[in-house]
Amino acid sequence: MLAFDLRSLVTQFDSDATEHEQVVLFQDPASDLKGFVAVHSTALGPALGGVRFHSYADEGQALADVLRLSRGMSYKNALAGLDFGGGKAVLIGDPERIKTEELLLAYGRFVASLEGRYVTACDVGTTPEDMEVIASTCSWTATRPMTSGGSGDPSVFTARSVLQGMKAAAVHRWGTPALQGRTVGIAGVGKVGRLLVEHLFEEGARVVVTDVRAEAVRRIAEKFPETTVVEDTKTLIRLEGLDVYAPCALGGALSDDVVPLLTAEVVCGAANNQLAHPGVERRLKERGILYLPDYVVNAGGVIQAAGGLRGATHRQTVAKVDRIFDTTLAILERAEAENILPGTAADRIAEQRIARAAHARTAAGSGQSIRPGRFA
């Protein structure tokens, strides 16, 4: 009965729902735990993706989010060259209010019951310290703190991968990876944005920032007094002389209203799901703006998480993150050659890799759904 209800709900919230291998509702009333896990694909390996803890308006909204995000992880992991499939979990409720050790342990027991089909990592509303708690009931856990031998906060490599994507865009648009003298506007200087600021100053770029939190802006201005601060994102995107716009706050930064106002020639940022709807990418192209799909350039964090799981060295992880430069360039070149959008080119590359792996699995006649993987 529950399976039937879930299926009808899944179809209601995601027309691509038939793509998902497994969608599970879990709950533990004793600890107020309630959420969903969606395993989109294990063709490339165990489904790897974060657990988002958020006060969703209702279960439908949480389900829609987990379906969309898990699908996105399949594409992100495939493009990053990882031997991991795509999955995601969402926990329903305000983490500030209901996140307890008891709840996290119950969540760990649930993930453990999936026996490795899904590997959980931190995301919005969860931290490496939470992963440490979860790890005591579940060995399928990534991004534990470095002090406990985990891969730690993924933001470090996310910022690095966004920089690599930006350099590839610079080659495609201006014929050189150099960002020296370019002006980059960053909306959102939280964990990823502030590290991106550091990278950009090292590259000799000019940096303009904005954030809704005065404290976040103050921190940047103190460390880098040469930073220009503007009042809000609307001011930032209309700034004369802006070369690159880097959305590093929330999703939906690129909407029908925003596109006509943009002065930047390139959009490349860390925020997930930047396009308010898929049609926005075409509007960006029509305005001559080069848009880099977020799931291509923000994969550094998941590469770091995967490296931690596979026992990769720091050097191996850095090398894999830096390959995002080549991947991004290949996507932009294919998009140009085939006269398609970068997002379409990226999707095709990911889908080909996933389909090849699924085919190889079927051809091998393996009853195993999850193959052992490699990293380098």
Active site residues: 88
Judged by CB under 6 A, which stretch of 3-11, 29-37, 243-251, 356-364 contacts ligand NAD? Answer: 243-251
DSSP 31: G
Q: Does residue 298 bind ligand NAD (CB under 6 A)?
A: yes
Q: Does residue 42 bind ligand NAD (CB under 6 A)?
A: no
Q: Does residue 193 bind ligand NAD (CB under 6 A)?
A: yes
Q: How far is the CB of 76 from ligand NAD (least distance, A)?
A: 8
Sheet of 118-122: strand order equals 22-28, 33-41, 85-92, 47-54, 118-122
The runs of H, that is alpha helices, within 175-313 are 191-202, 214-223, 233-237, 279-286, 294-297, 300-310
C-alpha closest to that of 53 among 109, 93, 101, 111: 93
List binders of ligand NAD among 152-191 (CB under 6 A): 154-155, 158, 187-191
* 10 versus 184: smaller Cβ distance to ligand NAD: 184
Q: Does residue 252 bind ligand NAD (CB under 6 A)?
A: no
User: What is the bridge-based pairing of β-strands 22-28 and 33-41?
Assistant: antiparallel
Q: Does residue 208 bind ligand NAD (CB under 6 A)?
A: no
| Token pair in block for residue 48 | 């790897």
* 166 versus 189: smaller Cβ distance to ligand NAD: 189
* 191 versus 282: smaller Cβ distance to ligand NAD: 191
* 178 versus 276: smaller Cβ distance to ligand NAD: 276
Count CB-CB contacts under 10 A for residue 319.
Answer: 14
Whether the CB-CB separation of 189 and 153 falls below 8 Å is answered with no
Over the window 316 to 335, marking each residue x when it contacts ligand NAD by CB under 6 A and - when it does not, the resulting string is: --------------------
Judged by CB under 6 A, which stretch of 8-16, 103-111, 209-217, 333-341 contacts ligand NAD? Answer: 209-217
The total number of residues written for the chain in this structure: 376
Q: With CB under 6 A as the rule, give the number of residues binding ligand NAD.
A: 26
Bridge partners, residue 263, by sequence: none
Judged by CB under 6 A, which stretch of 93-101, 150-158, 310-318, 346-354 contacts ligand NAD? Answer: 150-158
Bridge partners, residue 183, by sequence: 206
Whether the CB-CB separation of 31 and 107 falls below 8 Å is answered with no
Torsion of CA 44, 47, 48, 52, to 10 degrees: 150
Count CB-CB contacts under 10 A for residue 242.
Answer: 20
Tell me the residue type at 84. F
* 234 versus 287: smaller Cβ distance to ligand NAD: 234
* 232 versus 326: smaller Cβ distance to ligand NAD: 232
H or E element at residue 33: strand 33-41
For the chain, give the longest Cα–Cα distance.
Answer: 62
The runs of H, that is alpha helices, within the chain are 2-13, 59-79, 95-98, 101-113, 128-135, 155-174, 191-202, 214-223, 233-237, 279-286, 294-297, 300-310, 314-322, 324-338, 342-364
Judged by CB under 6 A, which stretch of 36-44, 244-252, 254-262, 367-375 contacts ligand NAD? Answer: 244-252
Q: How far is the CB of 250 from ligand NAD (least distance, A)?
A: 5
Judged by CB under 6 A, which stretch of 10-18, 35-43, 108-116, 208-216 contacts ligand NAD? Answer: 208-216
Q: How far is the CB of 209 from ligand NAD (least distance, A)?
A: 9
| φ, ψ dihedrals at 368, nearest 5° | -75, 130
Q: Does residue 116 bind ligand NAD (CB under 6 A)?
A: no
Q: Does residue 216 bind ligand NAD (CB under 6 A)?
A: yes
Q: Does residue 210 bind ligand NAD (CB under 6 A)?
A: yes
Residues that bind ligand NAD (CB under 6 A): 124, 154-155, 158, 187-193, 210-213, 216, 233, 248-251, 270-272, 298, 301
